[in-house]
Amino acid sequence: MDTTVPQRFVVPIGPQHPALKEPGHFEFTVDGEQVTGASVRLGYAHRGIEKATEGRNWVQNLYLLERICGICSHVHATAYCLGVEKLAGVTAPPRAQAIRLLVAELERIHSHLLWLGVAAHEAGFDTLFMYSWRDRETVMDILEALTGNRVNYSANLLGGVKFDLTPELTDQIYAGLELLEERTHQYVDVVTSDATLLQRTRGVGVTTREQAEELGLVGPTARASGVERDIRAEAPYAAYSDFPVKVVTATAGDLEARFVVRLQELFEAYRLIRAVLEKLPPGDLQARMPRKIKPAETISRVEAPRGELFYFIKSNGTDQPERIKVRTPTLCNLASVCVLAIGSQLADVPMILAGVDPCFSCNDRMVTVYSGDTDHTQWTWKQLRQYGIDYYRR
Amino acid sequence: MTWQHMVDEFRTWARVNSPWVVHFNTGSCNGCDIEILATLTPRYDAERFGVKLEGSPRHADVLICTGPVTRQARDRLLRVYEQMPEPKFVIAVGSCAISGGVFQGCYNVIGHIDEVIPVDVYIPGCPPRPEAILDGVVKLLSHLKDPVLETMQEAG
């Protein structure tokens, strides 16, 4: 065998794979241990939610859109509610806006702790996975006490929220935050000092600020590369103008920086929740919404735990929307995986993938093909349509 | 007691005490998936029933499915199911896996899990609590241990 010729060997990963809890298919071309090409195939969890919204009324859509993603269901509902309220010319009462913020920050805590566990699991550090998921149960208990469900809380209504805070609940949240704050200090200590974990994270998957801006990264992934971009601070929605957010950034851009940024955001979330609990505005929980909405269109942006979430909503004068378009943060970030994977070790690829906190159920709306060997492949609408027809013909 | 009978008894004992599960998401919203993971973590600790999350379907006894079956995931679900060694059992977790749930009528959703593969245990909820998932797993195990007794208990 001639060993001087570089061997092309393709490692397929997914759609069912232990490193990925969700279906996604990746193909990495490797030369020995080094990755030389990467491509991603998505769409296994594509259900056609955007189309389905056109056949349901405004209220029914709230529950459908909440189930785009089980991890960040509240931000989807918030983005949708804020958009529809803007179309209808209704403003939710201040108390409702503050409770929206409160639930959103509780959700951020749950999502970041979940990510910490999953990322530690990918690094082979299962002890941290078990610890962080044990502590995550504290925030799950709070969410359950507040809204009655651990996941898909359904706290939002068009024009307000469903649930109010009671004094007992406030005490429970304070106690929970105290415990979590103490634990988070320990996690920051672990991810910045544990020698084994640092070998998997420090200097791995480095994204420079230029790369991050070029690839259009969003959320904590971009903030770890020094891009100061946070919808909560740039375009405050809900009650974020009354409770301003301090944007957490880091400059290193490697996986360690992503760990640190997400953990520091937890402290920011604890601070915000305490501020809301101290100065919760009095008043009603819900404003009256019309059943039908006059023809108009609007956009609505919120900061999901993973980055910017964007909704485009168009109404046509009936009780059903004309069109709803969702743009979720994972798709923006996923392109960076294919770029960063090239040149890295195959063993680091799951860590790089976990580093963007991928969420495929939010994400499966289109097919992007990128190959290290050739240029970007772009499909026209006609080609894409023909591909779809041919694919489903059999 | 015949030799074959003894071997069967031993097999059942081993299977009930250490079921290995493989998890496949056929288009779920993630809610059920994170609750399945939570079931394995210290608060709920499914490992005390010998449950181990296994990466490869070829090593697994139980397939845990979440979500409605999308057109793309159908062939993959069938392949994962066929790769599992006999005897194999399927648990459908969540409303979508049972009936299609909120995604009924979406153009890319075929339907629920048992339209594609046979299902042994259904766990309802959106998403089911980890306690409910544990209960489903334990029901399956007690059924394996003694199918006759279990059927009698269900009938009252």
Distance CA B104, CA B67 (A): 11
Query: What is the tens place of the pLDDT at every residue in B77-114?
Result: 999 999 998 888 999 999 999 998 888 888 888 889 98
* Token pair recorded at residue A305: 């735990």
| Residue at B37 is within a domain | yes
Contact at CB, B37 and A133, closer than 8 angstroms: yes
Residue A367 is assigned to a structural domain of this protein: yes
Rg of the Cα trace of chain A? Answer: 22
Which one-letter amino acid corresponds to residue A385? R
Q: Tell me, yes or no, whether A294 and A250 share the same domain.
A: yes
- pLDDT for position A341: 85
Tell me if A64 and B27 make a contact (CB, 8 A cut-off). Answer: no
In this complex, the residue of B37, B55, B103 whose CB is nearest that of residue A47 is B103
Provide the 3-class DSSP secondary structure of residue B92: strand
pLDDT computed for residue A105 by the predictor: 93
Q: Is residue B154 part of a domain?
A: no
Q: Do A151 and B43 touch (CB under 8 A)?
A: no
Residues A221 and A258: beta-carbon distance below 8 Å = yes
- Structure-block tokens of residue A248: 């957490």
Domain count, chain A: 2
A314: buried, middle or exposed (CB in 10 Å: 19+, 13-18, 0-12)?
middle
Contact A44 B76 (CB under 8 A): yes
Residue A361 has its nearest CB partner, among B24, B29, B71, at: B29
The domain that holds B98 is classified in CATH as: 3.40.50.12280
pLDDT value at residue B151 = 57
ipTM of the complex: 0.88
Cβ neighbours of residue A142 under 8 Å, at least 6 residues apart? Answer: A106, A169, A172, A173, A176
A4 within a domain of the structure (yes/no)? no
Statement to judge: residues A34 and A158 lie in one domain = no
What's the order of all strands across the beta sheet hosting A25-31?
Answer: A9-13, A25-31, A34-41
Residues of A with Cβ-Cβ distance to B125 under 8 angstroms: none
Helix (H) or strand (E) holding A323: strand A321-327
Backbone phi, psi, residue A309, to 5° = -110, 130
Asked if A133's CB is within 8 angstroms of B32's CB, the reply is: no
Instruction: List the domain range (segments joined by +) for residue A18.
Output: 9-45+332-393
Domain of A181, CATH number, reads 1.10.645.10
Give per-residue burial for A227-243: e unless 16+ CB within 10 Å, then b. Answer: bebbbbeeebbbbbeeb
Residue with more model confidence, A41 or B75: B75
Would residue A361 count as lying in a domain? yes
Its domain, for residue B87, covers 20-131
Asked if B123 contacts B94 with a C-beta cutoff of 8 angstroms, the reply is yes
| Residue A56 sits at the chain B interface (C-beta within 8 Å) | no
Name the 3-class secondary structure at A229. Answer: coil
Coil, strand or helix at A279: coil
Q: Please report the pLDDT score of residue A365 as a whole number.
A: 58
pLDDT higher than threshold 80 for residue B21: yes
> Quick check: A160 and A285 in contact, CB under 8 A?
yes
Task: State the nearest Cα–Cα gap between B66 and chain A, in angstroms.
Answer: 10
How many structural domains are present in chain B?
1
Residue type, A386: Q
Contact B34 A114 (CB under 8 A): yes
The structure's pTM equals: 0.89
What is residue A358's predicted lDDT score, i.e. its pLDDT?
80
Distance of CA B146 to the CA centre of its chain: 18
In 10 A of CB A366, how many CB atoms? 11
Question: A255 with A316, same domain?
Answer: yes
Using beta carbons and an 8 Å cutoff, which residues of B are at the interface with A?
Answer: 22-35, 37-38, 41-43, 53-57, 67-68, 70-73, 76, 80, 101-103, 105-109, 126-127, 129
CB–CB contact A15 B129 (8 Å)? no
**Judgement on whether residues A226 and A368 belong to the same structural domain of the protein:** no
What does the alpha-carbon distance between residue A21 and residue A62 come to, in Å, rounded to a whole number? 26
**Is residue A368 located within the same domain as residue A319?**
no
Q: pLDDT (tens digit, 0 to 9) for every residue of chain A, 394 residues total? A: 455 666 678 888 877 776 667 788 888 888 888 888 888 877 788 888 888 888 899 999 999 999 888 888 899 999 999 999 999 999 999 999 999 999 999 999 999 999 999 889 888 888 999 999 999 999 999 999 999 888 888 899 999 999 999 999 999 999 999 999 999 999 999 999 999 899 888 888 888 899 888 888 898 999 999 998 899 998 998 889 999 999 999 988 889 999 999 999 999 999 999 999 999 999 899 999 999 999 999 999 999 998 899 999 999 999 999 989 888 888 888 888 888 888 888 888 888 888 888 877 766 655 444 445 555 556 667 777 787 778 777 5
A118: distance to nearest CA of chain B, Å?
10
Distance from CA of B146 to the nearest CA of A (A): 31
Closest CA to B102 of B129, B76, B67: B67
Using an 8 Å Cβ cutoff, are A212 and A258 in contact?
Answer: no
What is the structure's pLDDT at B152? Answer: 54
Q: Is A342 on the interface with B (CB under 8 A)?
A: no
Question: For residue A117, which residues of chain B lie inside 8 Å, CB to CB?
Answer: 41
What's the confidence (pLDDT) of residue B53?
A: 85
CA distance A82 to A300: 7
Query: Is residue A293 within 8 angstroms of chain B, CB to CB?
Result: no
**A19 and A166, same domain (yes or no):** no
Residue that has been written with the tokens 């199911």 in this structure: B81
Is any Cβ of chain B less than 8 angstroms from the Cβ of A153? no
3-class secondary structure, B18: coil
User: How much is the pLDDT for B141?
Assistant: 87
